[in-house]
C-alpha cells in the first residue's frame, strides 16, 4: 500500500538524531553523513519541497571541539558544550548547503515558544518568511538557556511541535532503529517491526520504552510514539526509520515501505498547548 500522504507532502519536517550524525565508536560528528544529508535535502528542495531540519548533535560537536571523551552529567557543562557545538554545527551546515546554493537559518526554541501566544505567532511568521525565501530552517532546542520547566528534553517532541506550529504535512524521524517494534529489538530477538499504524492505541503507547541504544541521544521509543501521537492527531503523517544511510529520506518521500508509517488521524479542535 502506497503511502500517499508522504508522497504528496509539500512541507516536511525532518528530524535527525545524534546517533545518525555521529560515529558510534567515538561519538564524534560524522562529516560524511552531514555532506550526504545536505545533498539529499538539496535535491528535495529542487523538487519544490519546503523543508525544515530538526538537527541534534550540538553537544557532540562541542565535545569534539574540546576533545572530551566523556559525556558530562552536570547541566551547566552540557549547556556549555551545546553553546560551543551549536555554532560549529551551523557553520558546517552553512558551508555544505552553500555548495547547492541553499541558504540555511538557525532557529532555537524552548517550550516558551509554543506556550506563549505572541512568541508562537512570531515563530510561525519567521518560519513562513524563511520558507517563502527558499531557506531551510535548521531547528534545535535552545539548550544553553533551557531549564526543566521550559525544555522539550528531546528533539522528537520538538520536531512534532514544529509540525503543528508551521502546518507541515509530514514528519520524518531518523533514528538508530528501523522503526516501531512490538518490543525492544535490542533485548528481544522475537520483536517484530510494525510497518503501518493506522491509529495509535493505548497498546502502542504501552510498547514505547524509555530507552535509547545510543550513548549520544536523549529520546527513546517513548518519545517517538509521543511525537507520532502529536503529529497524527494534528492531521499530518509521520515515518520513523533508520538513519544509518540518510539517503533513505528519498525513498521515504516516494512512498517506499520503509520503517513505520503513522497515518494521519486529525483530532477536532486540536490545541498544541494540550500536549505540552
| Digit-coded pLDDT (tens) for 73-102 | 888 888 888 899 899 999 999 999 999 999
Tell me the pLDDT tens digit for each residue of 112-148. 888 888 889 999 999 999 999 999 999 998 877 655 5
* Mean per-residue pLDDT of the chain: 89
Give the SS3 label for residue 202.
helix
CA neighbor of 85 nearest in space, from 106, 100, 110, 99: 106
Count of domains for the chain = 1
Rounded to an integer, what is the distance from CA 209 to the centroid of its chain?
18
Residue 114 confidence (pLDDT): 85
Residue 146 confidence (pLDDT): 59
Q: Which domain holds residue 249?
A: 4-275
- Is the per-residue pLDDT at 215 higher than 90? no
240 with 228: CB under 8 angstroms? Answer: yes
- Is the per-residue pLDDT at 217 higher than 80? no
- CATH number reported for the structural domain that contains residue 181 in this entry: 3.40.1160.10
CA angle (47, 49, 50) in 5-degree steps? 150
pTM exceeds 0.85: yes
Distance CA 259, CA 140 (A): 24
Amino acid at each position: 500500500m502506497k503511502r500517499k500522504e508522504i508522497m504528496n507532502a509539500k512541507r516536511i519536517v525532518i528530524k535527525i538524531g545524534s546517533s545518525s550524525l555521529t560515529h558510534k565508536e567515538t561519538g564524534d560528528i560524522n562529516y560524511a553523513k552531514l555532506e550526504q544529508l545536505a545533498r539529499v535535502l538539496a535535491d528535495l528542495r529542487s523538487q519544490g519541497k519546503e523543508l525544515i531540519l530538526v538537527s541534534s548533535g550540538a553537544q557532540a560537536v562541542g565535545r569534539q571541539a574540546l576533545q572530551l571523551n566523556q559525556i558530562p552529567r552536570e547541566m551547566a557543562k552540557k549547556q556549555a558544550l551545546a553553546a560551543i557545538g551549536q555554532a560549529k554545527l551551523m557553520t558546517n551546515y552553512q558551508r555544505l548547503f552553500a555548495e547547492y546554493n541553499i541558504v540555511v537559518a538557525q532557529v532555537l526554541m524552548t517550550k516558551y515558544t509554543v506556550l506563549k501566544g505572541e512568541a508562537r505567532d512570531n515563530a510561525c511568521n519567521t518560519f513562513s518568511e524563511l520558507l517563502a525565501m527558499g531557506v531551510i530552517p535548521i531547528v534545535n532546542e535552545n539548550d544553553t538557556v533551557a531549564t526543566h520547566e521550559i525544555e522539550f528534553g528531546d528533539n522528537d517532541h520538538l520536531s512534532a511541535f514544529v509540525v503543528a506550529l508551521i502546518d507541515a504535512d509530514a514528519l520524518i524521524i531518523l533514528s538508530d532503529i528501523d522503526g516501531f517494534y512490538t518490543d525492544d529489538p535490542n533485548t528481544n530477538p522475537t520483536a517484530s517491526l510494525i510497518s503501518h499504524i493506522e491509529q495509535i492505541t493505548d497498546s502502542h503507547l504501552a510498547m514505547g520504552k524509555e530507552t535509547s541504544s545510543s550513548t549520544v541521544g536523549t529520546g527513546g521509543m517513548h518519545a517517538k510514539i509521543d511525537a507520532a501521537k502529536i503529529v497524527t492527531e494534528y492531521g499530518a503523517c509521520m515515518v520513523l526509520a533508520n538513519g544509518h544511510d540518510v539517503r533513505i529520506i528519498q525513498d521515504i518521500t516516494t512512498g517506499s515501505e520503509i520503517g513505520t508509517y503513522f497515518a494521519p488521524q486529525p483530532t477536532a479542535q486540536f490545541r498544541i498547548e494540550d500536549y505540552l
